[in-house]
């Protein structure tokens, strides 16, 4: 990135907060797009960085991102890089709202960025789950429609990425696709105990020490990445000239089988290792029962990941991160930190 300012969308997402902190620490001037109902929280989060982080109130679903004419003028004069992370990830959200934010919001962010005279990079935050129900090896620079999408999140993020890929011939675009994000590899910190963390919390904080059964046999890879790796890679991709027009899987290139992941968690938490199996089909059927379905959508996606034989090829990522010192650490090196945070969170 040059000396131009940076525009970031997506607050209050945990990855966004960490990204803004990293960019500010690098001396970047950051404009953070923030909805009015989150403005107070954002001012509190970035109070110590107020000289470098300027909040602008708006919304990606609005024309010109909901910014005033004066703010648009400033953006066009100063911004060189746009990080588009705005999206709805909570699987309990309505399909209409996901389409509005994930698809139309992306379209608006692209249109706004296209009007920036000094645009050097538009970084789109996608997800490895645009692959939907596909199995086997998933390549970075391909986006075929999968046999099925398991939820509206996957479908809308697929549509959003397709829109962004369509602009690659006209704009300097980079796309990143993280897999399942867990906490910071050093502190274990995570904002929301959701998805994989839901099951980790249950396992770590179970009041009785018993052998819990595993959903499925746990033989397939479970691809987890710590948030600090994702943020570091995201910032690096944005400034690398060879990243223009390419897509990057931010994944663990040596994922462990799901059973081994849970065995490591149990060992770190001083709990009995998993024993026995709950059939995958039975577990997902129970989570779809009336009255339970909405609240279990995010854990259900995680359960479905346990029964999916998929490997995310990351040749582009390996090339761009080569020599940078940025790499996804092995799960064994930070599982203890995840467990320590979960135990602390319980108190």
List the domain boundaries for the chain. Answer: 5-182+223-253+311-329, 196-222+255-309+338-346
- The residue ranking higher by pLDDT, 5 or 288, is 5
Q: What is the mean pLDDT of residues 259-265?
A: 89
Residue 347: the pLDDT is 58
Residue 214: the pLDDT is 67
Cβ–Cβ under 8 Å, residues 31 and 108? no
The DSSP line for 216-241 is: S---SEE-EEEHHHHHHHHHHHHH-G
Cβ–Cβ under 8 Å, residues 143 and 130? yes
Residue 86: the pLDDT is 97
Provide the pLDDT confidence category of residue 291 given band limits of 50, 70 and 90.
Answer: very low
Provide the pLDDT confidence category of residue 296 given band limits of 50, 70 and 90.
Answer: very low
Pairing status of strand 79-84 against strand 121-125: parallel
What pLDDT digit, counting tens, does each position of 211-249 carry?
566 666 778 899 999 999 999 999 999 999 999 999 999
Cβ–Cβ under 8 Å, residues 66 and 98? no
In the predicted structure, residue 324 carries a pLDDT above the cut 50: yes
Provide the pLDDT confidence category of residue 206 given band limits of 50, 70 and 90.
Answer: low
Phi and psi at residue 159, in whole multiples of 5°?
A: -60, -40
Range of weakest confidence among 24-33, 144-153, 188-197, 323-332: 188-197
CATH code for the part of the protein at 5-182+223-253+311-329: 3.40.50.720
Q: In sequence order, what are the beta bridge partners of 81?
A: 6, 121
Residue 148: the pLDDT is 93
Q: What is the mean pLDDT of residues 140-169?
A: 96
Residue where the block lists tokens 């346990």: 306
Residue 302: the pLDDT is 64
Range of weakest confidence among 18-27, 74-83, 91-100, 330-339: 91-100
Residue 107: the pLDDT is 98
Phi and psi at residue 221, in whole multiples of 5°?
A: -65, 140
Indicate the average pLDDT of the chain.
Answer: 88
Provide the pLDDT confidence category of residue 286 given band limits of 50, 70 and 90.
Answer: very low
Q: What is the mean pLDDT of residues 274-299?
A: 50
Residue 295: the pLDDT is 42
Residue 137: the pLDDT is 97
In the predicted structure, residue 306 carries a pLDDT above the cut 90: no
Can you tell me the distance from the alpha carbon of 9 to that of 108, in angstroms, rounded to the nearest whole number?
12
Residue 297: the pLDDT is 45
Q: What is the mean pLDDT of residues 271-294?
A: 55
What pLDDT digit, counting tens, does each position of 94-152 carry?
899 999 999 999 999 999 999 999 999 999 999 999 999 999 999 999 999 999 998 89
For the chain, what percent of residues have pLDDT higher than 90? 71
Residue 210: the pLDDT is 57
């Amino acid at each position: 990135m040059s000396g131009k300012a940076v525009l970031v969308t997506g607050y209050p997402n945990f990855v966004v907060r960490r990204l803004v902190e990293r960019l500010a620490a690098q001396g970047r001037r950051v404009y953070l797009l923030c909805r009015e109902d989150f403005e107070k929280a954002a001012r509190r989060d970035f109070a110590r960085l107020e000289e470098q982080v300027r909040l602008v109130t708006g919304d990606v679903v609005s024309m010109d991102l909901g910014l005033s004419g004066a703010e648009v003028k400033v953006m066009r004069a100063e911004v060189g890089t746009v990080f588009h992370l705005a999206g709805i990830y909570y699987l309990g959200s309505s399909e209409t709202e996901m389409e509005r934010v994930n698809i139309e919001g992306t379209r608006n962010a692209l249109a706004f960025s296209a009007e920036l005279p000094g645009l050097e990079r538009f970084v789109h935050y996608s997800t490895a789950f645009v692959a939907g129900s596909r199995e086997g090896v998933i390549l970075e620079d391909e986006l075929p429609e999968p046999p099925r999408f398991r939820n509206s999140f996957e479908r809308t993020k697929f549509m959003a990425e397709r829109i962004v890929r369509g602009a690659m011939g006209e704009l300097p675009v980079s796309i990143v696709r993280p897999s399942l994000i867990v906490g910071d590899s050093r502190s274990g910190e995570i904002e929301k105990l959701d998805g994989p963390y839901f099951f980790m919390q249950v396992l770590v904080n179970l009041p009785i020490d018993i052998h819990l059964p595993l959903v499925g046999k746990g033989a397939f890879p479970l691809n987890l990445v710590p948030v600090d790796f994702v943020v570091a890679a995201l910032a690096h991709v944005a400034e690398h000239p060879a990243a223009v027009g390419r897509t990057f899987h931010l994944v663990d290139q040596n994922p462990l089988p799901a059973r081994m992941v849970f065995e490591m968690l149990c060992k770190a938490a001083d709990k009995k290792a998993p024993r026995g199996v709950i059939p995958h089909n039975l577990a997902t059927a129970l989570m779809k029962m009336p009255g339970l379905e909405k609240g279990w959508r995010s854990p259900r996606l995680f359960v479905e990941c346990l029964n999916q034989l998929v490997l995310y090829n990351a040749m582009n990522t390996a090339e761009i991160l080569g020599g940078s010192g940025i790499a996804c650490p092995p799960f064994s090196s930070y599982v203890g930190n995840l467990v320590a945070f979960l135990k602390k969170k319980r108190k």
